[in-house]
Amino acid sequence: MRVLLDTDPGIDDAIAILLALASPELDVRGITVVHGNVPVEACTLNALKVLELAGRRDVPVVMGAAAPLIRPARHAQVVHGEDGLAGLFPPPDDAHPFAADAAAFIAEALDEAGEPTTLIALGPLTNVATAILATPGVTERLDRIVAMGGAIRREGNVTPAAEFNIYADPEAAAIVLRAGVPITLVPLDATMGAIFPGQAAARLATSDVPVERAVGELGCFVSAVYRTYYGIDGFALHDPLAVGVTIDPSLVTTQELWVSVETGGELTAGATVADFWHIPEPWGEPNATVALDVDAERFIELLCTRLFGRYPV
């Protein structure tokens, strides 16, 4: 499957990139980077760091939007550390200049494709919305968007109403959801059910294998955050689950729903509002396949087998 990754690395984004690169089902043709967990320049450098860890500097990296469509940028250093990767990764050996027009890269990559392309969106949807707005017909060249974002029947993780990726640019998310592209939405309803155990991360952190040690050290850092904020000994595999669903949709239980994004509310900006009752206009037909539950053990087995060659770890 030919895929593009749009991401804001980020600890769980880094693990998601590693999973995508380690999965023979996916042919990763490029990584576009968006503002999000940290500023876009740091996110772009982080993408290069992860590719170096994976030995895959052949994958193009393209910097994109530094801010949402109309709002100030928001970041999440409290979760991911000041640099987005807990300060654990050295700079890449040859941090060569990278292209800086993600929306144009997405459009060009779709134009050049001789086969359907799936876009896996792991951060705020600014780059994706910009590509849709700037390039007529781009939606027709997308096979599907698989997007990690939203909170449908549970509380958000940045406000009580909203999940971070959607809250960071609700206008962009609203544009993407109304664009007519088949969308699989992987919200907190599913991702908060896929918890990587803190003890497993601690074991991996002592490994001599670079990928194992990196995932373990990243996991230990973010597990400390989860223990403080959620009382959970481990961390949610938000973005890796979106990659997992791209590989194997049966990992999650889904429902076809009409999903809208709140863009005007003072307390509810970024809320993902889903119609479970198929109410007539103004809602309309379902516009997203929404993951509402996850087979967590099967997904974590997939992740560990791909990244570490074994399960359990």
Looking only at the bridges linking them, the beta strands covering 272-275 and 252-261 are antiparallel
Any idea what the Cα angle at residue 188 is, between residues 287 and 256, rounded to 5°? Answer: 25
The answer to whether 238 and 148 are in contact (CB under 8 A) is yes
Q: Angle between the 102-112 and 126-134 helix axes, to the nearest 10 degrees?
A: 60
**Strands, E assignment, 117-233:** 117-121, 142-148, 183-186, 195-197
For residue 270 the two structure tokens come to: 């970024």
Which neighbouring-strand residues pair with 183? 145
Q: Angle between the 11-21 and 296-308 helix axes, to the nearest 10 degrees?
A: 70
For residue 257 the two structure tokens come to: 């729903």
Any idea what the Cα angle at residue 285 is, between residues 184 and 173, rounded to 5°? Answer: 45
Check 75, 96, 238, 278 and give the catalytic one: 238
Helix-, strand-, coil-residue percentages of the chain, each rounded to 5? 40, 20, 40
Q: Does 96 qualify as catalytic in the annotation?
A: no
| 67 three-class SS | coil
Q: Which residues are catalytic?
A: 238
